[in-house]
Amino acid sequence: MTDNYQELKAAARRLRRHIIRMVGAAGSGHPGGSLSAVEIVTALYFQVMRLDPARPDWPERDRFVLSKGHAAPVLYAALAEKGFFPVEQITTLRRLGSPLQGHPDRKSVPGVEVSTGSLGHGLAVANGMALAGRLDGQDYRVYVLLGDGELEEGMVWEGAMAAAQYRLDNLTAIVDHNHLQIDGQVEEVMSPEPVADKFRAFGWEVLNIDGHDFSQILNALEQARGIKGRPAVIIAETVKGKGVSFMENQAGWHGRAPKPEEVEQALAEIS
């Protein structure tokens, strides 16, 4: 795999700026968990996944499931930058009549594979996609991004058990492990730790990385592709609100929109 880290870093900066602009314009939304996932989503959409924006329903495309659906801004930013819809549309986030709802809607946004937002469902849906690919003789891969707070949902572990049972080696789960959720520290609200050991106990191959380091992200995704006979999970250590100093590691920015002056400060920091 040939990597151009400077291009990926430039794309990540664009995604971060889009996130701030769209949430600021909407006056609501979820910036913290969108910003923590930027490098992961950038690596997938700009380096790894097989996609064709002109054919969103191309049968051979790779699939991405944003299980933590409240982080819709990072997905919208990536889809716009890839050409699935005009970049100018991102500032319509959450407006009445806009296709860009607060959580992704597969019926209204090209490139959105699954309508998500009710936490815990994404892995089970991704399992179905991976099984369908096997039955149809397709070689596409399925990627699902989970929040670490989302791991408190029991259905995640039912999905983990099923993925291992059916040996879904065309499935890669990624945990955005930023340690914060709307009520505070994940470990204090309802700790899912030890996350790595639990996935191993369920029969998964586990990879641990820095979720903001493109080299580690891309290497892990490549490793996951080579694993046979079992699914792989990448536990990505990240920072909530990454890239904006006053948002970093602050649970209060889980679901709060920046004010106009905060938008300007954030954009100045990201530039």
Structure tokens at 40: 């992961």
Strand partners, 207: 234
Q: Are 26 and 257 in contact (CB under 8 A)?
A: yes
Q: Are 127 and 171 in contact (CB under 8 A)?
A: yes
Which tens digit of pLDDT belongs to each residue from 182-204?
999 999 999 999 999 999 999 99
Contacts of 235 (CB under 8 A, 6+ apart): 175, 177, 195, 196, 199, 206, 207, 208, 209
d(CA 209, CA 59): 31
Show the domain range for 209: 5-270
Q: What is the pLDDT of residue 3?
A: 55
Give the sign of the dihedral formed by CA 182, CA 184, CA 189, CA 195.
positive
Which tens digit of pLDDT belongs to each residue from 68-82?
999 999 999 999 999
Label the pairing between strands 171-177 and 232-237: parallel
Distance from chain centroid for Cα 201: 24
* pLDDT < 70 regions, the chain: 1-3
At 93, the amino acid letter reads L
Which residue intervals of 87-194 are DSSP H helices? 122-136, 154-165, 186-190
> What burial class does residue 230 get, using C-beta atoms within 10 Å of its C-beta: 0-12 exposed, 13-18 middle, 19+ buried?
middle
Measured at the CA of 176, the angle between CA 77 and CA 170, to 5 degrees, comes to: 85
Q: Which of 34, 37, 12 is nearest to 24 (CA)?
A: 34
CA distances from 227 to 48, 181, 213, 221 (A): 16, 31, 21, 10
Q: What is the pLDDT of residue 11?
A: 98
Which tens digit of pLDDT belongs to each residue from 20-40?
999 999 999 999 999 999 999
pTM: 0.97
Overall domain count for the chain:
1
Q: Which of 173, 236, 231 is nearest to 33 (CA)?
A: 236
Containing 143, the helix (H) or strand (E) segment is: strand 142-147
CATH code: domain of residue 96: 3.40.50.970
